[in-house]
Amino acid sequence: MGKIKVVHYINQFFAGIGGEEKADHKPEVREEVLGPGLALKAGFKDEAEIVATIICGDSYFGENIDEAKKEILEMVKKYDPDLFIAGPAFNAGRYGVACGTIADAVQNELGIPSLTAMYEENPGADMFKKSLYIISTKDSAAGMRDAVKKIVPLALKLAKGEEIGTPDEEGYLPRGIRKNYFTDKRGSERAVEMLIKKLKGEEYVTEFPMPDFDRVPPNPAVKDITKATIAIVTSGGAVPKGNPDHIESSSAQKYGKYDIEGINDLTPENGETAHGGYDPVYANEDLDRVIPVDVLRDLEREGKIGKLHRYYYSTVGNGTAVANAKKFGEAIGKDLKEAGVDAVILTST
């Protein structure tokens, strides 16, 4: 067998094209090894070769999922690779969704073994961990070396059609696949052993982890919107000019509660965004593009809604830990409930 042919997918940032201002970069293919591809190449030694790198801006992908997918599939097809690798995406949400979407499509539509890599809280992980091998990485590019060390062996195994070990052995996120195997102890014995360990407070590993479905059933609809108090909440980092609470541009540790009494329109003078995960130019020009205060004021004046709640709540949803987002959500929900708010418009960028 000759060298394994690999096509690698990365975003505009890892390709060195630019940051958020270049996130609308359209899919492009280059016959060279770029960014994290260099580390992969070193890891592959002579076994595999990256024949092309496909680059796409994260916003372009997120806003044009179907078109981007089609364009990129065509590019991949041209090289007829033995293996497709996307990422690693770490905790970059749009990038993770792009990596998962495209690796899933290459695997299922072109029949080419694929894998990607990202942090377990990346939304792309939840979306695709069942259908794809996703190597579990740290939450930032500081984990690149560790990621590459796990990607390379799994990638080679996949390309060669070798047997894949368990998530623990290979370093991928559990896919919920059960495999039969023979063991010298029967179930009852193993169950009793587990129970004894549990009673002693020792560590034990379950053989069948319960899936964690956390869904909240929808609340009843608003009966009379013309009497309802509506509040705005956003993860788009909207803040009063100057960001008085210093909400972090990524991995936010807090949210803000801001009084908009008397404000009928957001302008570059009274509002801006603190978000570091998208190009802030448009939000800073007119923050109504993130939180529609102007329109809700009009609707309030026209009697189409009861009232726009006096405060809006905002945080930055950029690499923010799920645990923090949950905490913010709980506190905001409680506050809004106590204030008698009837419904919430939550905007995300």
Pair 86, 105: CB distance under 8 Å:
no
> SS3 for 229?
strand
Cβ proximity to another protein: between 48 and 287 the closer is: 287
Question: What secondary structure letter does DSSP report for 22?
Answer: G
**Which phi and psi angles does 316 have, rounded to 5°?**
-105, 115
Judged by CB under 8 A, which stretch of 27-35, 78-86, 199-207, 274-282 contacts another protein? Answer: 274-282
Query: Would you count residue 5 as binding another protein (CB under 8 A)?
Result: no
* Contact yes or no for 320/312 (Cβ under 8 A): no
Residue 313 Cβ vs another protein, minimum distance, rounded to whole Å: 9
Q: Could you say which residues in the range 127-186 bind another protein, by CB under 8 A?
A: 127
Strand spans (E) along 12-138? 28-30, 48-56, 83-86, 114-119, 133-137
Cα angle for residues 178, 181, 182 (degrees, 5° grid): 150
Which residue in 109, 259, 268, 282 binds another protein (CB under 8 A)?
282
Strands 307-308 and 229-234: parallel
- The residues that bridge with 88 in the sheet, in sequence order, are none
User: Is residue 225 at the binding interface for another protein, with CB under 8 A as the rule?
Assistant: yes
Q: Should residue 302 be labelled a site residue for another protein when binding is judged by CB under 8 A?
A: no
The site for another protein, by CB under 8 A, has a size of 70
Q: Which is nearer to another protein, 211 or 217 (CB)?
A: 217
234 sits in which H/E element? strand 229-234
Choices 130-138, 164-172, 188-196, 289-297 (CB under 8 A): range interacting with another protein: 289-297
Minimum CB distance to another protein, residue 349 (Å): 5
Using DSSP, state whether 228 is helix, strand or coil: coil
Residue ranges binding another protein (CB under 8 A): 20, 23, 59, 62-63, 65, 93-94, 97, 101, 123, 126-127, 214-223, 225, 228, 230, 233, 235-236, 278-283, 285-286, 288-292, 294-296, 298-299, 304-305, 315, 317, 325-326, 328-330, 332-334, 336-337, 341-349
